[in-house]
Amino acid sequence: MSSRPTSQAPGLNRRRVGETVVTVLNDGYLDLSFELLADITVAEAKAMLATAHRPPDPRFSVSAVLVQDGTRTVLIDSGGGGFNGWGGKLPGALAAAGVAPGDIDAVLLTHAHPDHIGGLVGADGAAVFANAELILSDVELAFWADTARANSAPENLQPMFALARAAFAAYGKALRPIGSGEAVPGIAFVALPGHTPGHGGYKVTSGSDTLLVWGDITHVPDVQIKRPDVTIAFDADPDQARTTRMKTLDMAAAERILIAGPHLNFPGLIRVVRSGSGFDYHEEPWCPALI
């Protein structure tokens, strides 16, 4: 007699970008409240999800992105690692992709919030990706590494600062801040400030193909792509985050660029399109062949 499964299989979605293979790795989810959203009521947010035929629960997907060009193996973000009960499925997804933590040559961070850095350090305090460089914006590093700012942060933010600083310490000399340009060959940092001071994305380019991993441009895509004015309580500078989101959506629609994002609904790849005076999006379907 067979038993019913009680958990989901590891989430993988591979896509070829030129000669590079990009894999969206599902880390799980985080449960938050729509009350964290600004400039929209909870009822309006739920109605938008209902219109999109989504579950009404404020459950946000968490993903990381693996980039393999045949020379190096790069991970963009590391998921939540179970911090505050968020995510933690990345190790299983990596194993299903045939990649061991020691195979990772570099980890690129979009920013240093817990649901993006929680998977960097193990329970023993050591670096999970022991052979990897840890790369992030110099502005982002300066913000979270500032001792005075960390000490004066509100009590609810203290664990976030502690987690970030522990991650930076674990990688030690392998920590490399960057300003602009290529983080590693074929992957360029794109500054997208507002959500955090040094928040950014990464543009993966191979041949004539491009993918933008846009970080936390959206947390609830069915709301914030159609209503880019909506911000979230985690935005360090809501006005700047709103402006950056508008510019990024405009660029994505104009260039018809492929988008990945840590909080896009899995399988995690979309194309942004114009809709009237605003925007909408189409999810890229999962495909059994690498195209």
All domains of the chain in start order, with CATH: 12-283 (3.60.15.10)
Question: What is the pLDDT, as a whole number, of residue 245?
Answer: 98
> Mean of the pLDDT values across residues 216-238?
97
Question: What is the pLDDT, as a whole number, of residue 156?
Answer: 87
pTM for this prediction:
0.96
Question: What is the pLDDT, as a whole number, of residue 203?
Answer: 98
Does the pLDDT at position 86 exceed 90? Answer: no
Does the pLDDT at position 21 exceed 90? Answer: yes
Quote the percentage of the chain above a pLDDT of 90.
85
Question: What is the pLDDT, as a whole number, of residue 211?
Answer: 98
Please state which of the ranges 80-89, 113-122, 248-257 shows the lowest mean pLDDT.
80-89
pLDDT 10s digits, 100-157: 999 999 999 999 999 999 999 999 999 999 999 999 999 999 999 999 999 998 898 8
Does the pLDDT at position 2 exceed 80? Answer: no
pLDDT band at 291 (very low <50, low <70, confident <90, very high): low
Q: Which long-range contacts (CB under 8 A, 24 or more apart) does 165-169 make?
A: 166/121, 166/125, 167/112, 167/117, 167/120, 167/121, 167/134, 168/134, 168/141, 168/144
